[in-house]
Amino acid sequence: MLIFNNVCSVPSSFQLTGIPGLESLHIWLSIPFGSMYLVAVVGNVTILAVVRVEHSLHQPMYFFLCMLAIIDLVLSTSTMPKLLGIFWFGAGDIGLDACLAQMFLIHCFATVESGIFLAMAFDRYVAICDPLHHTTVLTHTVVGRLGLAALLRGVLYIGPLPLMIRLRLPLYKARVISHSYCEHMAVVTLACGDSRVNNVYGLSIGFLVLILDSMAIAASYVMIFRAVMGLATPEARLKTLGTCGSHICAILIFYVPIAVSSLIHRFGHQVPPPIHTLLANFYLLIPPILNPIVYAVRTKQIRERLLQILKIEIKIR
């Protein structure tokens, strides 16, 4: 580590603290966090396997669901193994490049996930408001391009964040990050240089993704509800709205924890630091855990296929 003026330095690595203020409970915290990570991995891998083998699920909505499963695996795996290493072995040391890579993966794939939810809202809009053209509008090629567009948007939006830190903020006043992973603001706070550009860019991206995507999704559902209210019978309305239930639940699971965490981070100055860090980890863990459960419970084809697999295993035993 190179030191300048006995204050700022060029670190080769950072030290993650895990859950600051709860260090004595790390070994116990590893049990729920490890269990949640295991459930997230098993659930999302199961979704991918079921959609792959069940040809009746080769439809746009389930292809988007597979994209969500892959994103959730990336988000949880980019943070949980390191966090468990901190809990079990005190292995909080992380190289500068590894820290920036983790930051990029977390923020990039959270942005990609928001884009996939927007694409799923478009899918539901076409399926309900223009059902005769659903298969011709949302072909497999179009679905793939929407997924690629969401990925490219995430890379373009988030790519500058680690680059700006690497190029503009080489000096740091400390190397201890009071967090369980390399979150953008937690790293920038330690920098010695002028971080206003980084802060403004980070806030702008947060606004574009969280506010504009959620507004676009809300607009699509306003049009969906208007179309549903025009149906002849209450039974038809409920049946049509039922096809949107899983998507609405997944949207709430994704956006509500992010919104709560962001509000507490910006305005909850009296909230203890452990709560900040726990919420930041929960918004990376809750969607990967609950998305497969929501779709398995609410989607008839997935539920029936899982039950069929379980019956076959029971017969074999």
pLDDT in tens, 23-51: 999 999 999 999 999 999 999 999 999 99
% of the chain surpassing 70 pLDDT:
94
Name the residue range of residue 137's domain.
24-171+188-316
- In this prediction, residue 312 carries a pLDDT of 66
pLDDT in tens, 107-160: 999 999 999 999 999 999 999 888 889 989 999 999 999 999 999 999 999 999
Q: Which residues of 129-158 are buried (b: 16+ CB within 10 A; e: fewer)?
A: beeeebeeebeeeebeebbeebbebbeebb
Q: Report CA Rg, the chain.
A: 22
Residue 212 in domain: yes
Question: Average of pLDDT values for 50-79?
Answer: 93
Residue 13 in domain: no
Residue 101 in domain: yes
- In this prediction, residue 213 carries a pLDDT of 93
Q: Which residues of 171-181 are buried (b: 16+ CB within 10 A; e: fewer)?
A: bbebeebbbbb
Task: Say which residues have a Cβ less than 8 Å from residue 45's Cβ, sequence separation at least 6.
Answer: 69, 73
Task: Say which residues have a Cβ less than 8 Å from residue 149's Cβ, sequence separation at least 6.
Answer: 115
Residue 110 in domain: yes
Residue 244 in domain: yes
Q: Is the pLDDT of residue 5 over 60?
A: no
Task: Say which residues have a Cβ less than 8 Å from residue 62's Cβ, sequence separation at least 6.
Answer: 51
Distance CA 154, CA 292 (A): 23
Residue 3 in domain: no
- In this prediction, residue 116 carries a pLDDT of 96
Q: Is the pLDDT of residue 212 over 70?
A: yes
Tell me, rounded to whole angstroms, the distance of Cα 263 from its chain centroid: 17
Tokens of 196: 């206003």
- In this prediction, residue 3 carries a pLDDT of 52
Q: Which amino acid is at 263?
A: L
When pLDDT is cut at 50, 70 and 90, the band that residue 15 belongs to is very high
Q: Is the pLDDT of residue 20 over 60?
A: yes
Residue 132 in domain: yes
Q: Is the pLDDT of residue 87 over 80?
A: yes
Tokens of 169: 């903020």
Tokens of 134: 């659903």
Residue 179 in domain: no
When pLDDT is cut at 50, 70 and 90, the band that residue 242 belongs to is confident
Task: Assign residue 221 the CATH number of its domain.
Answer: 1.20.1070.10
Identify the H or E element spanning 292. helix 273-298
What mean pLDDT, rounded, does the chain reach?
Answer: 89
Asked which of 85-89, 169-173, 188-192, 294-298 is least confident by mean pLDDT, the reply is 294-298
Per the structure, the count of domains in the chain is 1
